[in-house]
Structure 1
Amino acid sequence: MPEVVIVASAFGVDAIRRDGHHAWLKTAAKAGAAGFEVRRELFALEAEASPEALSALGKTIAAQNLWSVYSTPAELYAPDGALEEAALREALIEATALGARFVKLQLGGFAGRAYGEAIAKCTRGVAARLVVENGQMERGGSLAQFEALFNALAKDGCNEGRKPVLGMTFDIGNWQWPGVDPVEAARKLADHVEYIHCKAVAGEGARRFAVAPAADDPVFAAVLALLPRNVPRGIEFPFDAARIAEDASHHVARLASA
């Protein structure tokens, strides 16, 4: 069965900022999760991103028999398409301090040039696997951008005879903000997907928000059927605040067997 990760925000953004990531690790472990996603933007203080603090958090996560994902809102590519090398290096240093299995960035302004060799140089010797996620804006959330990215990496020679320099976090719900059909995206990008963010979306326009996929959600089921089954699935929708532990256990079991 696929491993299931609980994204910290599923416990509530305000709760994480108030109590810290560590406060919810036992709940995640008891729910049956295999991993826990740490969100840099939910640190209440910048000091929480220090190597010492991240190392301590990583040890606490491991003590619950969980592995970690380190998520940062930093973009891999600047608005003009240049590689944000400083941001990448910072994210890799922080993910290494945490002991993360994955380090996740937003794609950003990719505009045709992948800088594959530069990324390979940055990630050489780093244990955390670099993945980029489709965001909720047109920049960084375009299907054409992701298709072009992986084509460019192949042309750079970064996909020949070895693992590509980066993979993809496929966020099922995020595609809906820029108006992309997630089923079409799954058909075209499945070969590059190494981590899945699971959520459905309610509301319209700018007032969309993440919700748990309904049991009979045909889009969610179709996307999961197209994506690799051997990659981790992350819960990125809020749990029921009145019964957090029970809801977490329910959705972990559900995603592991879907």
Structure 2
Amino acid sequence: MTKRTLADTHDRPAQLIATSAYGHAAVAAHGQEGILPWLAAAGATGVEIRRELLPAGFDAFAALGEACARQRLSVVYSAADELWQDDAPAATLGQRLAEAAALDARAIKFSLGNYRRGPAQAWTALRETLAAAPVALTMVENDQTPQGGTLEPLAICLHDAEQADCPLYMTFDIGNWAWTGGDAVNAAHRLGRYVRYVHCKGVVWRDGKPHAAVPSAEELHDWHALFAAFPPCVPRAIEFPLQGEDLVAVSRDELARLARL
């Protein structure tokens, strides 16, 4: 079984757009399938399909994957589940991997969950499950929670995965560190070697709370230090709001800004 990675068809970093970037109203009006032509026209090489934005009871994963393929978009599947429940992988893991396979996704990502140093047999089971799955890449993402979005639990889990020879890697969300009080540069230096996919979003503060935003020129400049800690040509995705009258043009412009990283 040959597993295709996000980067194996491009000589430059793959650039994706998460469908959530267009907002809940656009997704509700068009569906995630209806948004795909916008990405293709803007020059994206892939799409991040968000499970939490699928209709209740959705099961047409193969048809959605075929729609992505028609637009020549590789797929990352955001499962929206926590991978770990204390010392065992989540019971939904197999179902989510099957959904990713139906999408012909090249990668799937989870939140870390509540990781408590899984025993050897849990890591063995996870290693065997991921090795047998048709999805090339399984990742945990730093989310906006204390248990799944702070440095130490992620570092421990990824170190344990490495020790167990388990193919588990990381989605590094640049903006989410603001929600958990972490330092993105420090996290990049600690976790950079595990990173296989980057969520790009700027942050603005309103009423003492962080909000996702189009990255400023200063933020983009600062991100060079982050990307220097990641593997070369790591794929990256827009996960900040894309708004305007011409969403294709807006998307194209923001992809061009990321391409300079």
| TM-score higher than 0.5 | yes
Give the deviation of 1:153 after TM superposition. 2.0
Give the deviation of 1:112 after TM superposition. 2.0
Aligned to 2:34: 23
| TM-score relative to the length of structure 2 | 0.89
**Structure 1 unmatched runs, 5+:** 159-163
Give the deviation of 1:230 after TM superposition. 1.9
CA distance in 1, matches of 2:194, 2:246: 36
Aligned to 1:84: 89
CA distance in 2, matches of 1:170, 1:96: 23
Aligned to 1:240: 243
SS in 2 for 1:86: coil
CA distance in 1, matches of 2:173, 2:26: 23
SS in 2 for 1:208: strand
Give the deviation of 1:43 after TM superposition. 1.1
Give the deviation of 1:205 after TM superposition. 7.4
Aligned to 1:161: none
**Structure 2 unmatched runs, 5+:** 1-11
**Within the alignment, does 1:5 sit opposite 2:16 as a pair?**
yes
Give the deviation of 1:256 after TM superposition. 2.0
Q: 1:18 to 1:12 in 2, by over 3 A?
A: same
**Which residue identity is paired with 1:9?**
S
Aligned to 2:147: 139
Aligned to 1:116: 123
Q: 1:212 to 1:225 in 2, by over 3 A?
A: farther
Aligned to 2:48: 37
Aligned to 2:9: none
Q: Structure 1 stretch 113-122 or stretch 136-145: which is displaced more?
A: 113-122
Instruction: Indicate if the aligned counterparts of 1:18 and 1:44 stay in contact, CA closer than 8 A.
Output: no
Cα deviation per residue 1:69-91 (whole Å; 9 max; x = unaligned)? 1102100112xx13234211111
| TM-score relative to the length of structure 1 | 0.90
Instruction: Indicate if the aligned counterparts of 1:27 and 1:245 stay in contact, CA closer than 8 A.
Output: yes
**Within the alignment, does 1:193 sit opposite 2:195 as a pair?**
yes
Instruction: Indicate if the aligned counterparts of 2:87 and 2:117 stay in contact, CA closer than 8 A.
Output: no
Instruction: Indicate if the aligned counterparts of 2:82 and 2:110 stay in contact, CA closer than 8 A.
Output: yes
Q: 1:206 to 1:38 in 2, by over 3 A?
A: farther
SS in 2 for 1:12: helix
Give the deviation of 1:195 after TM superposition. 0.5
Aligned to 2:204: 202
Instruction: Indicate if the aligned counterparts of 1:71 and 1:103 stay in contact, CA closer than 8 A.
Output: yes
Cα RMSD (Å): 1.6
Instruction: Indicate if the aligned counterparts of 1:36 and 1:69 stay in contact, CA closer than 8 A.
Output: yes
Aligned to 1:222: 225
State percent identity of aligned pairs: 36
Q: How many residues align?
A: 246
Give the deviation of 1:204 after TM superposition. 5.1
Aligned to 1:55: 62
SS in 2 for 1:117: helix
